[in-house]
Chain A
């Protein structure tokens, strides 16, 4: 089928303002939007820049906004968007555009690092594995699916207004260590996010949950953190 794309173009070194460029591509209904972007780049316009790598929703590189909704270009198929043409592809909102669909994710990763995304397990190092109850481990099932694509942060209405808000994905990573029974710093971790720009910044808009390509219950996880703060710290 024939598809019309309108793609956001901006090279801050050359352009004074962004523009939308129209491309026509033929693609099968079951092909990925990423396949279309590649066809455009390879066959029509090599100046179009975007990130990609694994092509099947595991690495998190190709997060963009497709027809107003943040998603991975490799996880959306042509048939999903064919009804709503032209298909508008834009960079993730809330981030500085470096070129075309490539945004500056540095501030995002800084926030992920801020939550200390590593186990603080205390001094003991047993000879074998530390034992962990399967039920305890199950609490982490959803949050370890996060691939740091930043779709959630880009869709968050709170982040859009307040760039100091920690944001959904960093809170998901905070959750991952707060609720890992092997971690010895639970209280400190809770204190760290017990701030107006931490867990309490979330206003339950649920946009993060709606867009998450890995179907993580993001908002619910943030609310569980809030409850744990009430329970442990108050």
Chain B
């Protein structure tokens, strides 16, 4: 019999969204925080550049400008009611983090220091504005440490190194999760009045990514497997400046501090693509510009990368404000960024799409109704504040704003809710699936399938896409899914820290999500934000100003449209 635990709320994932929600419910609800890594290992900690809020500490700023930038950055697919919540709540959220102890960099007058970031402008696009609050280039890390400390102070019960492998759903009500304990190989059943997914992104679908190994989208995949929809999955952000070959991120803060992208000719090519804000254009714009330069033979030495030049910033500024990225460049490339430019290329960074939710974190079904017992926040969710392309520094903000709101909603609603009895044998499905994989003694290793998927997605579903390429990739990914079902086998069948099994289960999530990304991308016959179709190069508001929902039932897969909330800003051509 699996070990049973009962809590009011189970939060899955210990990045900023999960931790912030836990802090909000502490003392009011009996909360369990489940994470497949120890909380301080969560990938929020890799966020470098900052968190956006119109504090106006450096120069005049306003939440309306921030909201506009967010909507324009998202190529008008951003839900404006949600973007308004985000931008209005941002200053409060940052002050709150400061009160909790986040060590932001400071101005001489003692206020929180702010710097420029891509797509953040003053007066509706006039010029870059300093809106990013930061702690050197480890902003995510210090917020993670601070929120973790808040959870320690509040005595939140953490179950580290457990992977959630199934949702327990009874009559369309989510009433718990099944989790696998890596230390013992045992399954646990968590029975709860509400489950909140904060499982992060799934950049590991792609070959080159800034994401950690743990970013395999387990939560989003589970929701989809239970017949609930995923939204806007075609929108995958490729960050312009990944370290060449490795994919490790060089923060946009490098350009916020004055860094410049240059091609083979030494030319500052962004002047041609974004005359007003140049290197600080939105990420999709800069990534396409880099790919265009490479395709035109103007990559460095004619190869597939360009240079990020920080040599004019000076050693002191690099040490004070960009020290982590300077050390990455030294360690992995043997380059001193004060002396030589950094070879960079776009790297898969962020998923705009995910589990559809309302502004209180309630997960929504295909008809837009809340799914009883299920919440989601953070990168695994789609509110949608990022639309077709997220702005830098808006993700940390998203995590703390909507993590808190989900926590607050649960704290208000869960006490009025009864515990739905668990269905019998809640873990039967998972147990059987794991047994199948473990019993097989020959076949194909997960790594081979994973590498083929990552290669295919990178080649055919990257910065540029075509109908033909997407169709081919879909065929490949479905073939890999079939091969996974019939043939995948493990080298190790033991129970303790069986990372071989862990990676096989993660691969199953990734293959599920890769299919949804491809289906969504094929359905959108236009170019918008991060979704760039070579066969449909223009944005098409007449036919495609809507969100994409993909879900499946017993018989087939459905692709449907969902309206976008447009309140203050009518769609306009997007020029930077």
Contacts and interface: CB of A to CB of B under 8 A. Distances in A.
Contact of A49 (B37, B100, B104, B498): B498
Interface stretch (A137-145, A193-201, A220-228): A137-145
A57 B103 CA distance: 20
Interface string A117-137: 111010001111111111001
A99 B37 contact: no
Contacts of B498: 49
Contacts of B492: 45-47
A54 B43 contact: yes
Contacts of B110: 131-134
Nearest to A79: B334
B4 interface: no
B135 A131 contact: no
Nearest to A60: B41
B497 A59 contact: no
A25 interface: no
B331 A130 contact: no
Interface in B487-530: 490-492, 494-500
B332 A30 contact: yes
A57 B248 CA distance: 10
Nearest to B48: A58
Nearest to A42: B447
Interface stretch (B149-157, B397-405, B532-540): B149-157
A75 B183 contact: no
Interface string B99-125: 111011111111111000000000000
A41 interface: yes
B544 interface: no
B497 A55 contact: no
A57 B327 CA distance: 10
A142 to B, nearest CB: 10
Contact of B98 (A13, A60, A130): A130
Contact of A43 (B100, B248, B447): B447
Contacts of B61: none
B45 interface: yes
Interface in B135-165: 135-136, 138, 141-142, 145-146, 148-150, 152-153
B519 to A, nearest CB: 29
B145 A13 contact: no
B214 interface: yes
A185 interface: no
B318 interface: no
A88 to B, nearest CB: 20
A56 B328 contact: yes
B37 A61 contact: yes
A49 B496 contact: yes
Contacts of B148: 117
A13 B109 CA distance: 60
A81 interface: no
Contacts of A6: none
B331 A11 contact: no
B212 A53 contact: yes
A116 interface: yes
A119 B101 contact: yes
A155 B248 CA distance: 28
B41 A53 contact: yes
Interface string A7-47: 00001011000000000000000100000000001110111
B11 interface: no
Contact of B46 (A59, A128, A130): A59
Contacts of B99: 121, 125-126, 129-130
Main secondary structure of the interface of A (DSSP, over half): loop
Nearest to B491: A46
Contacts of A215: 327
Contacts of B108: 134
B106 A133 contact: yes
B491 A53 contact: no
Nearest to A46: B491
Nearest to A118: B149
A180 B40 CA distance: 21
Given A41-B500, A55-B212, A99-B496, A137 B183 contact: no
Contacts of B107: 134
A207 interface: no
A148 interface: yes
Nearest to A113: B152
Contacts of B136: 141
Contact of B153 (A45, A116, A144): A116
Contacts of B40: 59-60, 147-148
A46 B500 CA distance: 6
Given A113-B152, A129-B112, A144-B145, A55 B213 contact: yes
Contacts of A77: 331-332
Nearest to B490: A46
A129 B103 contact: no
A160 interface: no
B429 interface: no
A200 B100 CA distance: 29
B464 interface: no
Contact of A52 (B42, B100, B213, B447): B213
A137 B110 CA distance: 9
Contacts of B327: 57, 215
B92 to A, nearest CB: 9
Given A102-B497, A129-B95, A59 B101 contact: no
B440 interface: no
A58 B141 contact: yes
B38 interface: yes
A159 B546 CA distance: 60
Interface string B24-66: 0000000000000110111101100000000100000000000
Given A117-B152, A130-B98, A133-B106, A41 B499 contact: yes
Interface in B267-291: none
B499 A134 contact: no
Given A49-B497, A98-B497, A134-B105, A119 B447 contact: no
A100 B246 CA distance: 27
Contact of B109 (A53, A118, A128, A131): A131
Given A58-B141, A99-B497, A53 B213 contact: yes
A118 B152 contact: yes
A53 B106 contact: no
Nearest first, the 9 closest Cβ-Cβ pairs linking A and B are A46-B491, A131-B110, A119-B101, A118-B149, A46-B500, A47-B492, A49-B497, A42-B447, A46-B492
Interface of A: 11, 13-14, 30, 41-43, 45-47, 49-50, 52-61, 75, 77, 98-100, 102, 105, 109, 113, 116-119, 121, 125-134, 137, 140-141, 144-145, 147-148, 177, 180, 182-183, 215
6 contacts: A30-B332, A42-B447, A49-B499, A125-B99, A131-B111, A180-B101
Given A137-B103, A144-B138, 7 more contacts: A45-B491, A45-B492, A47-B494, A77-B331, A98-B496, A118-B100, A132-B110
